[in-house]
Chain A
Amino acid sequence: MKEKPATVFVVDDDDAVRTSLRLLLKSVGLPVETFSSAQEFLDSFDAERAGCLVLDIRMPGMSGLELQQRLNEIHAIVPIVFITGHGDVPMAVEAMQHGAVDFIQKPFRDQDLIDRINQALEKDRDNRAGLKERDTIRRRMQQLTPREREVLDLVTQGKANKVIAGDLNVSQRTVEIHRARVMEKMGASSLAHLVRMVIEAERAS
């Protein structure tokens, strides 16, 4: 988050709509980059960059829906706010089914759009924070010894120390020592915290 500020990427083939959106987002202090076609956006797409996509659903050439599909294919996580015309609700529904954050019909109240953009940016932040946390958890899990990893798995399965000692054929005391090491290496403050981290790590993979 410290490297680059989150950016709102606007893709719309209509010059006037695009330019007015840039002005609006600029007026609320959001960094904006605009693209006149889906292809132009795709060509300069950088998955590392934080931000969200404001995407016209209808465009000549590659449409908004097609761009969404392409982004999904490359596991891009950038949240998308679709802007649609009056007759485009069926398309908007399809876009939502494919993971869009929201859609908004043209013309729109500026606050409605800004709220949605903020939601999207927040989601992107969450996404990116989540990604970062999983990275941390995974890194920590990689520091565990094989025996500690065994203990972690059994603990997170909800087994008592005595049962684990029996399973691993070690003393209950030994289990307690391993468990303390795991808690320490994983930076877990409680058993519940530890369980959440393991779930998080598994979900992402």
Chain B
Amino acid sequence: MDTNADPSAAATPQQDGNELKALLDAAIDGVIVIDHAGRIATFNAAAERLFGYPSSEVIGQRVEMLMPEPYRTGHDAYMTSYQRTGKARIIGIGREVAARRRDGTVFPASLAVGEIPGSVPKRYVGFIHDISARKAATAALRRERDRAQSYLDLAQVMLVALDAAGHITLINRKGCEILGYTEAELVSRDWFEQCVSPTHRDAARAALRAALQGDGRALEYTEDEVITREGHAKLIGWRTTRIHDEQGNASGLLCSGEDITEQRRSEQALKRSEQLLISAQAIAKFGNFEIHLPDRASLWSQQVYDIIGRDPDAGPLAPEEFAGQFLHPDDRDRFLHDWRRGVAESGRFDLEYRIVRPDGSTRVVHTLAQTLPGKDAPSLVVTGTVHDITDRKLAEEELRQGQERLTHVARLSTMGEMATGLAHEINQPLTAIATYAQASTRLMDAPGGADPVELREVLVQITAQALRAGEVIRRLRAFVKNRAARTETLDMNRLIEDLRVLAEPDARVNDVRLTLELAPTVPTVAADPVQIQQVLLNLVRNAIDAMLEAPGAPREVVITTAVVDQDVEVCVIDRAGGIPPEVALHLFNPFYTTKEAGTGLGLAISRSIIRAHRGKLGHRPTPGGGTTFHFTLPQLPGG
């Protein structure tokens, strides 16, 4: 190109030709003119450089030589088609094509083709340049972008970039996954319209504006719901940064979001189950604890504090301090002893103890615990429960007292039935005493006075009779006294012999003979003597009553003792009418009675007494008629 040429000067055709050539050769793009048949007419210097052909080799040749397959074979048909239909695929449009160099290599090129106006037949000009470098740069850029995208996609968080208007400029795979859309369905859409619930849209847009304006709060961690394609709400924890343009203005936001729906749900579930545990523990008065040894670091559940009445803020106590501050003085040593033994030996704890709360009230507490090995070899963890069993204990105690009262009532009732005989039994010695004393007075008043030897004998008799009456009263009192159950080591034979004092008067007034047929020796048993006497007297009474209802039956009650297996068996045998089957059915039911003045408690309580002694009470027919009631008591080991 002649840069000094005067553009206003007129040019000759030769000049025009030279100028055009210079112009064409100065062009950076390859310029190729072809005729209507596709033959190359012009091939400029840039084209020579591009394709590696000198123009002389290509002028007049078909342009297909510059194309790789499949363009090469398709071109002719294309040109024919264009000329017939005027339908362009490239002319006036420009496109990216593949070009073929002289050495056969192919390179990407940008091709713009135009029809030369007024040319007949038609001629076409193509401008072509090598876009390899641009392609490479674009590819590198794309690779870079893909790599970034893959980073974004690999990230297990949702990444969304929004422009200042709130349109999505980028979203990663995780984001798509969470929202249930494809990337294409989201990019360039309005985030708020697409992914935020209508009720929340305005607030969310306001937050975007605030963040863009630099409101720090809007950039803090926030939790917000998104709406998925399916319409489900998901809770997302967001972290947001601003994107700046070259001028440093905030042009958008990059938000990273984590789907915390599940996490929050499980947190809430955990919280709820913790709440449930706390309220369950409160209802059950059940706490638990953990103590690390040897450093004695302790952890108590809320309920432990509630049970012992300690402020939770005051924190847990080591076992020894706990014992010192809260244990009932009577239980403290035992607690500490059991505790230490549990730690040192068994690894198991089953402790029942009383605590005194700071308000002075006493609670009964049951602790079950076990030791587990700690993280380091010598360390231990004791985990266990603290259960306030005061109410249960009270109920048990009430039940026990009720049972005791009932037992006592039954005893009094039995004694009431025996009252006539016992009154008689006390009246006899009193009568003897009164008579002896009055006789002595008369003897002393008689002329000559009484014989001292005789008088002395009378006084001995009086003493014996007074003691006799006293003995009956003593036994009576011991029997009817309301007292706590007490286990003693007993010789059943002795007990039955002693019982005679109480049982025989009753038998006598009812004209019944009481006979004892005791084994020469019986092993000792552990039992409450009064309760066993109660059972025996009840059975003897029943036998006597049975006889009163069976006139003509032999009026004898026999008490026997024997050793059966490992047990001591006691039988009370009568020869009365026996027990009708319909009565036998209800015999041991409380308040069932066939007696006019009976309470119906006797046998029911007798059976529960024997059961409490780990024995059995039952009955069987006496051979030859009547009933034999029998009960067993287990003998003492070594008894």
Q: A87 at the A/B interface (Cβ < 8 Å)? A: yes
Residues of B within 8 A of A24 (CB): 435-436, 438-439, 442
Within 8 A of A (CB), among B432-474: 432-436, 438-440, 442-443, 446, 458, 461, 464-465, 468
In the complex, how many angstroms separate the beta carbon of A57 from the nearest chain B beta carbon?
11
In the complex, how many angstroms separate the beta carbon of B547 from the nearest chain A beta carbon?
13
Q: B619 at the A/B interface (Cβ < 8 Å)? A: no
Asked if B428 and A16 make an inter-chain contact with CB atoms under 8 angstroms apart, the answer reads yes
- What 0/1 pattern do residues 89 to 122 of A give for CB contact below 8 A with B? 0000000000000000011111000000000000
In the complex, how many angstroms separate the beta carbon of A131 from the nearest chain B beta carbon?
33
Q: B252 at the A/B interface (Cβ < 8 Å)? A: no
Asked if B428 and A106 make an inter-chain contact with CB atoms under 8 angstroms apart, the answer reads yes
- What 0/1 pattern do residues 406 to 440 of B give for CB contact below 8 A with A? 00000000000000100110011111111110111
Q: B239 at the A/B interface (Cβ < 8 Å)? A: no
In the complex, how many angstroms separate the beta carbon of B240 from the nearest chain A beta carbon?
105
**Can you list 30 A-B contacts with CB-CB less than 8 angstroms, sorted by A residue number?**
A16-B428, A16-B432, A16-B461, A17-B432, A17-B435, A20-B431, A20-B439, A23-B435, A23-B440, A23-B458, A24-B435, A27-B442, A58-B508, A60-B508, A63-B511, A83-B431, A85-B423, A85-B424, A86-B424, A106-B427, A106-B428, A107-B427, A107-B431, A107-B434, A107-B435, A108-B434, A110-B434, A110-B435, A110-B439, A110-B442
* Whole-angstrom CA separation of A60 from B508 in the bound complex: 6
Residues of B within 8 A of A110 (CB): 434-435, 438-439, 442
Q: A72 at the A/B interface (Cβ < 8 Å)? A: no
Closest A residue to B436 by beta carbon equals A20
Identify which of A14, A26, A63, A109 contacts B428 (C-beta below 8 A).
A14
- What 0/1 pattern do residues 236 to 270 of B give for CB contact below 8 A with A? 00000000000000000000000000000000000
In the complex, how many angstroms separate the beta carbon of A38 from the nearest chain B beta carbon?
12
Identify which of B433, B443, B458 contacts A107 (C-beta below 8 A).
B433
* Whole-angstrom CA separation of A182 from B465 in the bound complex: 64
* Whole-angstrom CA separation of A87 from B505 in the bound complex: 14
A-side interface residues, number (CB < 8 Å): 24
* Whole-angstrom CA separation of A133 from B429 in the bound complex: 44
Asked if A109 and B429 make an inter-chain contact with CB atoms under 8 angstroms apart, the answer reads no
Asked if B446 and A23 make an inter-chain contact with CB atoms under 8 angstroms apart, the answer reads no
Residues of A within 8 A of B431 (CB): 14, 17, 20, 83, 106-108
Within 8 A of B (CB), among A1-56: 14, 16-17, 19-21, 23-24, 26-28
Asked if A107 and B423 make an inter-chain contact with CB atoms under 8 angstroms apart, the answer reads no
Asked if B436 and A86 make an inter-chain contact with CB atoms under 8 angstroms apart, the answer reads no
Asked if B446 and A27 make an inter-chain contact with CB atoms under 8 angstroms apart, the answer reads yes
SS class, residues of chain B in contact with chain A? helix
Q: Using a CB–CB distance below 8 Å, which chain B residues touch chain A?
A: 420, 423-424, 427-436, 438-440, 442-443, 446, 458, 461, 464-465, 468, 508-509, 511, 513
* Whole-angstrom CA separation of A24 from B443 in the bound complex: 8
* Whole-angstrom CA separation of A23 from B434 in the bound complex: 12
Residues of B within 8 A of A16 (CB): 428-429, 432, 461, 464-465, 468
Known: A27-B442, A107-B433, A110-B438. A20 touches B424 (CB 8 A): no
Asked if A14 and B432 make an inter-chain contact with CB atoms under 8 angstroms apart, the answer reads yes
* Whole-angstrom CA separation of A104 from B5 in the bound complex: 179
In the complex, how many angstroms separate the beta carbon of B14 from the nearest chain A beta carbon?
173
In the complex, how many angstroms separate the beta carbon of A90 from the nearest chain B beta carbon?
12
Residues of B within 8 A of A23 (CB): 435-436, 439-440, 443, 458
* Whole-angstrom CA separation of A84 from B337 in the bound complex: 66
* Whole-angstrom CA separation of A16 from B508 in the bound complex: 16
* Whole-angstrom CA separation of A23 from B430 in the bound complex: 16
* Whole-angstrom CA separation of A27 from B434 in the bound complex: 14
Residues of A within 8 A of B513 (CB): 60
* Whole-angstrom CA separation of A110 from B434 in the bound complex: 8
In the complex, how many angstroms separate the beta carbon of A187 from the nearest chain B beta carbon?
43
Residues of A within 8 A of B443 (CB): 23, 27
Q: Which A-B residue pairs are the 9 nearest by beta carbons? A: A16-B432, A20-B435, A110-B438, A24-B439, A27-B442, A107-B434, A106-B431, A107-B431, A23-B439
Identify which of B420, B424, B446, B461 contacts A19 (C-beta below 8 A).
B461
Closest B residue to A63 by beta carbon equals B511
* Whole-angstrom CA separation of A85 from B423 in the bound complex: 8
* Whole-angstrom CA separation of A24 from B513 in the bound complex: 30
In the complex, how many angstroms separate the beta carbon of B493 from the nearest chain A beta carbon?
24
Identify which of B438, B440, B446, B464 contacts A109 (C-beta below 8 A).
B438
Residues of A within 8 A of B420 (CB): 85, 87
In the complex, how many angstroms separate the beta carbon of B106 from the nearest chain A beta carbon?
140
* Whole-angstrom CA separation of A83 from B435 in the bound complex: 13
Closest B residue to A23 by beta carbon equals B439
Residues of B within 8 A of A19 (CB): 432, 461
**Supplied contacts A27-B439, A107-B433, 15 more A-B pairs, CB within 8 Å:** A14-B432, A16-B428, A19-B432, A20-B433, A23-B439, A23-B440, A24-B436, A27-B440, A27-B442, A83-B431, A86-B424, A87-B423, A107-B430, A108-B431, A110-B435
* Whole-angstrom CA separation of A60 from B442 in the bound complex: 32
Closest B residue to A85 by beta carbon equals B424
Residues of B within 8 A of A27 (CB): 439-440, 442-443, 446
* Whole-angstrom CA separation of A58 from B511 in the bound complex: 8
In the complex, how many angstroms separate the beta carbon of B556 from the nearest chain A beta carbon?
11
* Whole-angstrom CA separation of A205 from B439 in the bound complex: 43
In the complex, how many angstroms separate the beta carbon of B418 from the nearest chain A beta carbon?
12
* Whole-angstrom CA separation of A20 from B346 in the bound complex: 72
In the complex, how many angstroms separate the beta carbon of B29 from the nearest chain A beta carbon?
148
Closest B residue to A25 by beta carbon equals B439
Known: A14-B428, A19-B461, A107-B427. A60 touches B446 (CB 8 A): no
Residues of A within 8 A of B428 (CB): 14, 16-17, 106
Asked if A20 and B432 make an inter-chain contact with CB atoms under 8 angstroms apart, the answer reads yes
Q: Which of A20, A24, A26, A107 lies at the interface centre, i.e. has the most chain B CB atoms within 10 A of its CB?
A: A20
Closest B residue to A62 by beta carbon equals B511
Asked if B423 and A86 make an inter-chain contact with CB atoms under 8 angstroms apart, the answer reads yes
In the complex, how many angstroms separate the beta carbon of B456 from the nearest chain A beta carbon?
13
Closest A residue to B508 by beta carbon equals A60
In the complex, how many angstroms separate the beta carbon of A58 from the nearest chain B beta carbon?
6
Asked if B427 and A86 make an inter-chain contact with CB atoms under 8 angstroms apart, the answer reads yes
In the complex, how many angstroms separate the beta carbon of B551 from the nearest chain A beta carbon?
14
